[in-house]
């Protein structure tokens, strides 16, 4: 079996988004088997709307046969502005395997960004959160929550 990348639309950035400063991806997942040639999670990465131009690095996903929460601090790459980040997608790649299944129960993407102040140079950090399961972590009162509609 080949590895497969599945993409989820995260949506557009808030209107005051200038550029991202910190990106944290939180996932709750598990795989069904750990012996032999078992399918497992491979990597996570954020992409522009074209699903091919990366805006963060790719990180290897840890997984186990027990549903577990993981947190990944991503490195921002390439052009970093609202135009590029609107229509943001999260890509999750599975590894090659011929048996078992990989289950993604919930995902949260927290983007701390520099906010424009009426087009001026004054700015502040804010968190823009995409979340499927508020139990993954506490949510900042300033976070915007958008469901990802992940299969269970």
Q: Which pTM was predicted? A: 0.78
C-alpha to C-alpha distance for 127 and 118, rounded to whole angstroms: 18
10-29, pLDDT tens digit by residue?
A: 888 888 888 888 898 988 88
Check: CB of residue 63 under 8 Å from CB of residue 92: no
Residue recorded with tokens 């999260």? 90
Check: CB of residue 54 under 8 Å from CB of residue 82: no
Identify the pLDDT of residue 1: 53
Mean pLDDT of 63-77: 90
């Amino acid at each position: 079996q080949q590895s497969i990348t599945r993409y989820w639309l995260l949506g557009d950035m808030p209107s005051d988004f200038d550029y991202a400063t910190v990106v944290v991806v939180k996932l709750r997942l598990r795989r069904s088997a750990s012996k032999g040639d078992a399918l497992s999670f491979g990597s996570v990465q954020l992409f522009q709307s074209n699903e091919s131009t990366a805006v963060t690095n790719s990180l290897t996903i840890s997984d186990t046969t027990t549903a577990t929460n993981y947190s990944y601090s991503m490195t921002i790459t390439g052009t970093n502005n609202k135009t590029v980040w609107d229509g943001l997608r999260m890509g999750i790649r599975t590894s090659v395997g011929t048996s078992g299944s990989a289950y993604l129960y919930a995902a949260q993407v927290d983007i701390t960004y520099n906010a424009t102040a009426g087009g001026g140079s004054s700015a502040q950090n804010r968190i823009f959160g995409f979340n499927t399961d508020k139990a993954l972590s506490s949510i900042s009162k300033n976070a915007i929550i958008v469901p990802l509609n992940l299969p269970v």
